[in-house]
Amino acid sequence: MEIVELKKGIYWVGAIDWNVRDFHGYSTPYGTTYNAYLILDEKNVLVDTVKAPFYLEMLGRISEIIDPSKIDYVIANHVENDHSGALPQLVDRVGTPTVITTERGRKGLEKYFQKSLKWRIVKTGDALSTGHRTLSFIEAPMLHWPDSMFTYLKEDRVLLPNDAFGQHFASVQRFEDEVEEGVMRHAAKYYANILWPLAPLILRKVDEVVKMGIPIDMIGPSHGLIWRKDPGRIIQAYVDWSQGKANRKILVVYDTMWGSTEL
């Protein structure tokens, strides 16, 4: 398998779902990805897992980089099964890594899997030192589930926001600058179907992150392509969409029973 390195010691180890055509009740004609990220340091960290049927694909990617049993922590940014589904199999394979999540995340995972796990519960402002790296946590409730959170890699300036800033788009490329055409259209459809009802919360969360003063060089969402060329572009797009900013266009909708209506 091809090894995909975001920055030195940070790897994409997710899975590509070429065949899914319905996700959360809307069409996904281009498939999707389930993104997981492996961080190597004195303590090794896996951020999120994948949908259960894709466990072996994820495990294969991890195994190309390290012995999976050397994973010390698994960060569960979100409990939904497309991100946590492979967690029970992973725990059975690697032993009992410490699972880092929010309190709501712990409750959700316990109900899903009925499995004894080692927990570390975090909230906004908490951090994990892995040796040469600092991972900070930002709670993001209702973006788009109550348990959701972001993970920020301070020294690398990488934000891993789970279901924010994603797209349902399967490709052999991993970065948005490799598939420039159409990426924003996929991101807009994703936003409209998953996050648009939560627009006020998005604006507050973006404002909170801006006030934290954290520089962001790269955004690794849980679905689709990774934003590395200009991550500020998708952040600004979320602000614009959440504020209801419109392009200078007019949509004319018409209907005809007998085919007699013409433009």
What pLDDT does 240 receive?
Answer: 96
**73 is annotated as an active-site residue:** no
Per-residue confidence band for 191, with pLDDT thresholds at 50, 70 and 90: very high
Catalytic residue among 17, 48, 80, 147: 80
Is 190 a catalytic site residue? yes
Is residue 223 part of the annotated active site? The answer reads yes
Give the SS3 label for residue 47: strand
Q: 124-128: which pairs have CB atoms within 8 A and are 24 or more residues apart?
A: 127/154, 128/45, 128/73, 128/100
Averaged pLDDT for residues 95-118: 94
Taking 90 as the threshold, does the pLDDT of residue 25 lie above it?
no
- Domain parsing of the chain, residue ranges: 4-243
* 186 annotated active-site: no
Among candidate residues 83, 168, 186, 223, the one labeled active-site is 223
Catalytic residue among 57, 82, 147, 176: 82
Residue 223, preceding peptide bond in cis (omega within 30° of 0) = no
CATH topology of domain 4-243: Metallo-beta-lactamase; Chain A (3.60.15)
Annotation says 78 is catalytic: yes
Higher-pLDDT residue of 167, 96: 167
User: Which pLDDT tens digit goes with each residue over 132-185?
Assistant: 999 999 999 999 999 999 999 999 999 999 999 999 999 999 999 999 778 999
Catalytic-role residue among 78, 83, 168, 186: 78
Residues 183, 5, 28: CA angle, nearest 5 degrees: 30
Beta partners for 162? 221
Identity (one letter) of the amino acid at 35? Answer: N
Output the pLDDT for position 262.
64
Over residues 207-257, the pLDDT tens digits come to: 999 899 999 999 999 999 999 999 999 999 999 999 998 888 888 888 877
Mean local confidence (pLDDT), 25-45: 96
**Per annotation, catalytic residue among 34, 48, 144, 168:** 144
Q: Check residues 59 and 250 and name the one with the higher pLDDT.
A: 59
Residue 216 to residue 203: CA distance in whole angstroms: 17
Residue 82 catalytic?
A: yes
pTM comes to 0.93
